Structure formats: structure tokens, C-alpha cells
Chain A
């Protein structure tokens, strides 16, 4: 097979978009043709799904008869049919009454490997559990309440639901949440010393070393944390301060991003700021594999892109670490991107074959990681 599972799905979507539109716009056609040209696999996948479509037959004795009866089956198209079936087979031994709930609650993990080979695993819903992704791996989860999570590479998410609350902890890495409304049970994401409470919403959380970013693409979230720092920074956003001690609260709306840094020894947030973002840009790691940064210290950018390569990357000094980076990094070309950094920054990249070491130009070559 000369295309990936993702290309196959995209091709199927393009197939219907192109052939179902009697009077397609030039723009649509242009986009389609650009997609076809973007990779050989795209064109092959399109040809392949086209062939599959026209090869189906109207055999009245076969599957096409439409006479099959069965329980109303929960399927919302969010996962592939193969993944859906894997989840269903997993539960088929249970009594039918349980089936619908079990299906709705099933966790379907899609693992896209390097070669685009699709492995499908299914698990019972995690009312509690730990989910870990490897380097470059993304994972899609449907939680017990129907909320959806897309977990980025090298990330760890711990889930702990109870009758009164839905708590998850993003221990490391990045996750995008689309939260199912439930007025009786708050949905809270814990990240370092911050707590993000969803208000019917879509948002992205990224934990990088001692720093968390929360970006809201739909709805709103409330962020609380163990700090007075957020109170100081609240003038730029609509915010509210809890009267109880140093618990602060910031409300983030669509297109707003909060970044905070924690001082782990005191379990305190020491720095927090809110900025405006383009939600479409922050969604790109999920959509097309581009990791987008805006005015972020190089140390965090590097720690973040490192989740997409097996090669360790170290920043050895604050000269390099504090440089600000704005731009996009393609997840499959992280090493190449690092190697090209000296072209735009006053830094040196030392490639030992195993480890990439990034340092400011004034630092002597060969210095060990000081931390």
C-alpha cells in the first residue's frame, strides 16, 4: 500500500466533496488539485477510493439488501469503522442491555505509526486510567462521559472520574479536549500547579517542563492556581479573583491563551500572562502535523518539539534558551529544523550523532549540560 491511513480517509472525503458537488467552485477544485499534487500517496489514495466506490455492486442477495436488523448501533463517524468494530467486538460478550452504554463509553485508540500503518486498540472507557503516548505518536480517546481527547506525542494523561467530578491530569505533553457538557460534574484539567475548568468547551493544554499553556478554541475555561501572580496580570482579560487566600481565577474565552510558569519547590505559579491566539493555528498539530509557536522562548519550543523525535535535544545556556521563536515546525522534520536554527539565530548546534546540543555562540564547544 503506497498511501497512509490518513491519506485514505482524506481521499474518501475529497471523493464525496468533488463528485457530489454539481457546480464546484474554482476554489474547491483548486484546493483539491493542490491536495492531489501535495504527495504521490494522496493521488494514489484518491484513485484507490474512487475504484473502491465504483466496484461496489448492487447484489440484492448480499449486504446491499438493507434487510439486516440489529440493535441501534452507536456510531458517530469520529473514528474509523475498523476502530469502531474493534471496540464493538471487545464488548460483544456482554449482555445486550449493557451494549449501548459500553459502546458509547468505549475508548478507541488510534495509533499512527511512522509508516502510516494503522494499529487499532480498543479499551473500556477510562473512568480512571493512565494514557501514555510515545515519540511522534498521537492518540484519540473517547472518555466515559463522551468527552474527546486528542493526546499529542510523548504525553501522559491520567484520568480520574467520580460521581461528583471529572478530573484529568496532564502530567506531560499536550492534549486537546472537547468536553461533553455535564452541569452536575465539572470537567477539570490539572497541569502542574494550575487547574483548568471547562465551561462547555474546546481547548488545548500543553505542559512543557515548568510551564503550561492553555489555549481556548471554543467556549471558555476558568483557570485557577496556587498563586498571586495571576491576579497581577488580570487587567488584560476579564477575570475574577477568589477571595479565599491566593487562589486566583482567570477566565479565558475563545482565541485566548494563558501561559504560566510554576516554581515547583513552593508549588506556586510564579508567572502568568494572557495573549491572543488564532485557534486555527493552535489546532494545526492535530490537523496537519505543524507545531506552531508565537514568540516563545527557544527552550520551551525545543522541549516541545523534542516530543516528536527520538534524538535528545539539549539547550545548554540561557543565551540560546531565552531567544524568542515565532514560526512553525513540521513534526516529522524536527531534527532538520534544529540543524537549521543557526541560520536564523546566533547559536551553534553540536550534533554528536546521538544528541543535539544547542548553545549560544559565545559558549565554548564541548560544554556539558550545566543543569
Chain B
């Protein structure tokens, strides 16, 4: 799929607004559907892109661009596939930007805590402060390889295959360990943060 930029950066308008729809001679998908899509998935899409790019501002630009492409689709399909198309387009645009920068996805830094927080529901944001203590305790409770896998992923941004080589366990086991680690962190937060 071509991922060339369609022109100068678009203004940050919600899809369905005049700015996005005014491109002439291009049949548009049903604007009502697209707007629904936007409402339902914008936060998830922004986090999806931001996690890859390490920048909230760039994430907004990419998301906007992906919406514009969606609106220009000749043959919009079922809404469920439109969503996948939207995320796929965003992933492609993200890859383009990373290639243009000439480097791999950013190492996850402390800064990206902000990324996760933006557009999270209010109760999630409230958890912020008290959770750090719980999370560090939960990290310490993890089985050794499980903990190492998680930290290599989180702090050094290593891929599964890199972690696999580093720890001497298979990639499937890395995936399982990562998921189990995260499950446990969440479990501790869920059980120890008073409601």
C-alpha cells in the first residue's frame, strides 16, 4: 500500500468536519459511520500510534491523516473492516515516519507515562501516584525470567527475539512471560488500590 503523504499536513479537525470532506471528486465513505468510528476509537488509535512514535503531537497528525484516507476510500466496506483499515493505515504512516527519521521505534522512556495517561478514562488517571509503589512491589514478586523479560521490554525497548536471545528462552515463552508479568502488575493494582 502506498503510504506517501497526501499533501501538506492536515489541520487537526475531526473527520466529518468540512476540512476533511472538502476534497473534491473523491467519493467519500458514509460520514456518519466514520464519525462513529472516530468517537469509538480515537483514544485507542492515538495511544496505538503514540506508543510507536513516542510523541503525542505526531500521533495526532498520523491519526488525522489516517482518517482522511478513510474518508477518501472508493468502496468503503463493512464498518468492522473500516476500523482495521484505519489502524492499519495508521501503522503504515507510523512506519513511514520512523523510516524517515532513520531509526527504530523509540526506547520507552519515563516520558511515555504521559502517553498512556492522555485520553485514559478519569478513574485510570486517578490511580497514577499510588500505583507506583504497588507496581514496583509487584515487579519484585515476579519470577526471575518473567521480570527480566518485562524490564528488557519496558526499559530497553527490546523486541521479543532480542529478549529471547538474551534470556535463552523461546519467543513464545517470551510472549507468555511478558503477558503474565503485565497480568500480575494489573492484578496487584486491581486488588490493592482501594475503590
Contact = CB atoms under 8 A, between A and B. Distances in A.
A72 B147 CA distance: 13
A30 B81 contact: yes
A18 to B, nearest CB: 7
A66 B148 contact: yes
Contacts of A8: 183, 186-187, 190
B124 A51 contact: yes
B173 A77 contact: yes
Contacts of B21: none
B136 A81 contact: no
B144 A72 contact: yes
Contact of A15 (B92, B182, B190): B182
B143 A53 contact: no
B116 A53 contact: yes
Interface string A37-70: 1000000011111111111111100111010101
Contact of A52 (B105, B121, B148, B185): B185
A57 B132 contact: yes
Interface stretch (B22-30, B68-76, B107-115): B107-115
Contacts of A344: none
B85 A64 contact: no
A54 B132 CA distance: 10
A16 interface: yes
Interface string B118-133: 0011001001100110
Given A55-B113, A63-B147, A81-B146, A49 B183 contact: yes
B136 A64 contact: yes
B176 interface: yes
Contacts of B184: 80-82
A63 B183 contact: no
Contacts, number: 173
Nearest to B131: A55
Contacts of A48: 124, 186, 189-190
Interface in A1-60: 1, 5, 8-9, 11-13, 15-20, 22-27, 29-30, 33-34, 36-37, 45-59
Contacts of B120: 47, 50-51
Interface string A245-276: 00000000000000000000000000000000
A84 B143 contact: yes
B156 to A, nearest CB: 10
B116 A18 contact: no
B143 A30 contact: no
Nearest to B85: A26
A73 interface: yes
Contacts of A23: 91-92, 95
A101 interface: no
Interface size class of B (residues with CB under 8 A): 35 or more
A120 B47 CA distance: 33
A12 B182 contact: yes
B151 A64 contact: yes
A49 to B, nearest CB: 5
A33 B184 CA distance: 23
B186 A81 contact: no
B135 A56 contact: yes
Q: Which of A34, A75, A77, A80 has the most CB of B within 10 A?
A: A77
A299 B116 CA distance: 52
Contacts of B132: 55, 57
Nearest to B84: A30
A231 B111 CA distance: 70
A65 to B, nearest CB: 9
Interface in A304-349: none
A100 interface: no
Given A33-B80, A52-B186, 13 more contacts: A13-B175, A13-B179, A33-B87, A50-B116, A53-B182, A54-B112, A54-B113, A55-B127, A55-B135, A62-B139, A77-B173, A80-B183, A82-B187
Q: Which 7 pairs between the two chains have the least Cβ-Cβ distance?
A: A54-B116, A75-B143, A77-B176, A63-B140, A30-B84, A81-B184, A63-B139
9 contacts: A9-B179, A17-B175, A30-B81, A30-B83, A48-B186, A49-B183, A51-B127, A55-B131, A77-B177
